[in-house]
Amino acid sequence: MTRVRRLKFILWLVAGLAAAVAVARFVYGLGVTTNLSDATPWGLWVGFDLSAVAVAAGGFVLTATVYIFKLERFHKIVRLGVLAAFVLYLSFVAILLFELGLPWRIWHMVVYWNVHSPLFEVGWCVMLYTGVLVLEFFPTPAEEFPRLAKLRALLIKARMPLVILGIGLSTMHQSSLGSLFLIMPYRLHPLWYTPILPLLFLISAIALGLLMVIFENHFTAYFFRREPETATLADLGGAARWLLVSYAIIRLGDLALRGSSRYLAAPGWPAMLFWLEIATITVVPAVLLSLPRLRRSVQGQWLAASAGVFGVVLNRVDVGGLAHLGHGNELYVPAWTEIVISAGIVAAAALAFLFVIERFRIWEQRPADPDADPAALPKFDRVGTTWLGEPAIAGRTVYSLAFVAAAAVGFALIESQPVDGRGIVPQPVHRARGGDTLWIDGNLNGYGVAFPHAKIEARLGGEASCVKCHHMNVPRDRNSGCYECHRDMYLTTDASRHDWHASPDGGRLACRDCHDSSRPRTALVSKKCDYCHKNLVPQGATIQVKNYKSVGYVQAMHALCIDCHVNLAKQTGKPEFARCATCHKERRARVDAPELAERERIGRGMLLPAVAKR
């Protein structure tokens, strides 16, 4: 296989995998196919959006160089630059369609206006500049179609205003992506948040635009075995380094002026990410591009451009989601599905890019289509409507196979995703609130028992009697959810948290603190809870903790109530107390049925009639 074929094969594989995930995204929604949450509503895809636009800056930077500053020696690479920008803007729109909750309403931005919103500006810049790119690029494919000659001539005449409009829109767009985050002073990390974020975005985008032109030229040169325009590109690299250095100076200077430089040395990942950005955006490319020999070498340019692209993309992903102050300790890590969709759009964009390069005249000479074999017979006989077969699997056949096989793998992987997002998120439990009647619905299925809590509390001895029925919470944890222990009402559950005891943030215990080193490390032969937690089980409690297990919920309720009532029934001659139907009588019989139905529907079990009537 040629280099291009091998590349295309991989791209089709990735695209196929993403196609399957894309279907799942629209069928199941965002909750299942992403790791986004109420705490981090934006994630990798927004970082991708910001990166795509930054990387596309090569288009307007190059058109400015050639058509405004009239540096004719760059003319031969301008078509490639515009094509790359065009494809990248399309991929921006593509990821937006996944990212928006209601993507079929993307046109709302045209109809409903809010001129105060930076996102509104971003949306309009994307729409208009994508249109400008279409018009700027149109003359290239139109060469192949004589019928379009008139239109082509018209667009070439209109090139100057188009280029100027494109530069204006790009400037606004690049900077407005920075403005987008100005509204989050309480969210974005102080190493990234600054009022001059729009300016930083613009400068880094222009510098990246120059590096991206270098990158895409070497990329295509490698895969199409062309001679890269190294000498021409060296001049771009020379210009880029000044921008890169000034970017770092402005950014660090701004940090110092705002008094946020103390975060630079703070331990933790924000400072590390920041320095990684500075190193890859500025230090590596600026050093490489300042040494004349490296600046004029393929390797030097390739490395400088790759480092710069990586650095700016990292910067955009940081601002887009990573460098946000979370709510508490919730950490966002992109789901594999998010990564696959992003990679799939990159793959699709690259395939479109390669297609246009092979099909139209981007350079003086069009590269040979690696999939077109001039000696091959037509595979399909249109007259006889028969398949003529093919000697070996190659070209489009193998791409189709890759796409379909990868899609099948994608569907298989999606199947194993939990589709309803039922998750282990601790639900807060508050102090016991008491009440007259509890609606106990252990199975959460709407069939429950009305439990006369106040009456029984009074009979057992008032407030002092709580411990007779209620066992303790998980130690030192005020917010453990019911279901953490009562995961299944028929099973015993673990009353101790092993992880917490061993954690450096928690118990800080060594293994031998609980486990005897000469014996197997099992719960049965370890120290019991009350070895350390002397007051864990209150005086007078009926429920005891044995072997770290609490008894099943059903057993707890039934054993505690029924055992006594059986005895009581013997003494007082009231056998009905110990019967199921005493409590489990007709459903909802004891309380106002419509009220109960409503509370049952909304899933709140507590009834407080005495308080509510006051």
Site string for other proteins, 491-510 (x = CB under 8 A): --------------------
428: contact with other proteins by CB under 8 A: yes
Stretch that binds other proteins, among 249-257, 261-269, 338-346, 422-430 (CB under 8 A): 422-430
Q: Rounded to 10 degrees, what is the CA torsion of 386, 391, 393, 396?
A: -50
What's the closest the beta carbon of residue 159 comes to other proteins, in angstroms?
11
Token code pair at residue 277:
């950005």
256: contact with other proteins by CB under 8 A: no
Token code pair at residue 159:
């090139």
What's the closest the beta carbon of residue 430 comes to other proteins, in angstroms?
5
**CA dist., res. 486 & res. 508, Å (int):** 27
- Total residues contacting other proteins by CB under 8 A comes to 92
Q: Which helix (H) or strand (E) holds 216?
A: helix 197-223
Minimum CB distance to other proteins smaller for 330 or for 563 = 330
Q: Give the neighbor-by-neighbor strand order of the sheet with 437-440.
A: 449-451, 437-440, 606-607
603: contact with other proteins by CB under 8 A: yes
Residue type, 41: P
The residue within the footprint of other proteins, chosen from 377, 464, 511, 606 (CB under 8 A), is 606
Minimum CB distance to other proteins smaller for 282 or for 337 = 337
Residues 545-574 interacting with other proteins (rule: CB under 8 A) = none
Residues 156-215 interacting with other proteins (rule: CB under 8 A) = 160, 163-165, 167-169, 171-172, 175-176, 179-180, 182-187, 195, 198
**CA dist., res. 545 & res. 537, Å (int):** 8
Residues 287-326 interacting with other proteins (rule: CB under 8 A) = 325
What's the closest the beta carbon of residue 564 comes to other proteins, in angstroms?
30
Minimum CB distance to other proteins smaller for 382 or for 614 = 614
The residue within the footprint of other proteins, chosen from 258, 327, 359, 361 (CB under 8 A), is 327
Residues 28-57 interacting with other proteins (rule: CB under 8 A) = 28-32, 36-39, 41-42
Site string for other proteins, 342-361 (x = CB under 8 A): --------------------
**CA dist., res. 140 & res. 77, Å (int):** 13
Contact 479, 429 (CB under 8 A): yes
The residue within the footprint of other proteins, chosen from 147, 293, 382, 422 (CB under 8 A), is 422
Nearest in space to 3 (alpha carbons), one of 177, 276, 221: 221
**CA dist., res. 118 & res. 199, Å (int):** 14
What's the closest the beta carbon of residue 529 comes to other proteins, in angstroms?
25
**CA dist., res. 53 & res. 128, Å (int):** 14
DSSP E strand boundaries for 509-587: 549-550
Distances (CA, A) of 372 to 367, 376, 394, 554: 11, 8, 10, 72
Residue type, 436: D
Residues 78-107 interacting with other proteins (rule: CB under 8 A) = 99-103, 105-106
Pairing label, strands 549-550, 437-440: unpaired
The residue within the footprint of other proteins, chosen from 1, 10, 68, 256 (CB under 8 A), is 68
* Beta-carbon count within 10 A of 466 CB: 16
What's the closest the beta carbon of residue 30 comes to other proteins, in angstroms?
6
**CA dist., res. 318 & res. 338, Å (int):** 16
Minimum CB distance to other proteins smaller for 341 or for 350 = 341
The residue within the footprint of other proteins, chosen from 258, 455, 478, 508 (CB under 8 A), is 478
State CA 472 to chain mean position distance: 39
What's the closest the beta carbon of residue 523 comes to other proteins, in angstroms?
26
